[in-house]
Amino acid sequence: MNCVDSAHRFPVLTIPPPVRQTGSPEYKTILCPLEFSEASRRALDYALALAKAADARLILLHVIENVLGDTGAETLGHLSMDEYYRHLDRDALTQLKAAVPDEARVWARPEERVVRGRASREILKIVADEGVELVVMGVHGRTALDRLMFGSTTHRVIREAGCPVLTLHGE
């Protein structure tokens, strides 16, 4: 098994250089961004387990990227852009709520949030605004060309979060 294969099977905790920890880390606020892929569902399982073990606050975040432009005057079928995005907001919130098992809601008390914008920017904003101490997120296998052309949400979060980031690939 090579390093690439093992990285796909095991969680990877990245601790950026500015983070200094002594002893066992205490994560009291955990952020888990979800885009409803297999990788993000796996990340949610880890985030729930960590939140339970640490009695931590758990923020679940879904970011709706503005892929259709910000004109507001255009229509998509019978929906205006505003109606379309409100529909996406409601759908994402429903999926976030459904992603957490009922028994986990007793001890996890997750905070579900849906925001619009660029995923990496919105994740980093929540990290800064809410004092997040750990980000747990799924990773998609992307090619080097994809990363070069479009960047990677995960890579940007790891570089700029200022807190540890636990990444997991889908199985």
The mean pLDDT value of the chain amounts to 83
How many angstroms separate the CA atoms of 171 and 138, rounded?
11
Stronger pLDDT, 170 or 8, i.e. the higher one: 170
Would you say residue 131 has pLDDT above 60? yes
Would you say residue 6 has pLDDT above 70? no
Task: Give the per-residue pLDDT at 48.
Answer: 96
Task: Give the per-residue pLDDT at 2.
Answer: 40
How many angstroms separate the CA atoms of 99 and 102, rounded?
9
How many angstroms separate the CA atoms of 35 and 64, rounded?
9
At 29, the amino acid letter reads T
How many angstroms separate the CA atoms of 138 and 161, rounded?
15
Percentage above 90 pLDDT, the chain: 56
- For 74-123, write each residue's pLDDT tens digit: 555 677 888 888 999 999 999 999 999 999 988 888 999 999 999 999 99
How confident is the model over 9-18, as a mean pLDDT? 81
How many angstroms separate the CA atoms of 33 and 51, rounded?
14
What is the domain partition of the chain in residue ranges? Answer: 8-169
- Residue 32: which pLDDT band, with cuts at 50, 70 and 90? very high
- For 136-167, write each residue's pLDDT tens digit: 999 876 555 445 544 589 889 999 999 999 99
Task: Give the per-residue pLDDT at 171.
Answer: 64
Would you say residue 43 has pLDDT above 80? yes
Q: For the chain, how many helices (H) and strands (E)?
A: 7, 8
Just give the CATH number of 8-169.
3.40.50.620
Cβ(64)–Cβ(89) below 8 Å = yes
How many angstroms separate the CA atoms of 50 and 11, rounded?
13
Rounded to 5°, the CA angle 101-99-93 comes to 125
Percentage above 70 pLDDT, the chain: 76
Element spanning 29, H or E: strand 29-33
Task: Give the per-residue pLDDT at 66.
Answer: 73
Task: Give the per-residue pLDDT at 3.
Answer: 44
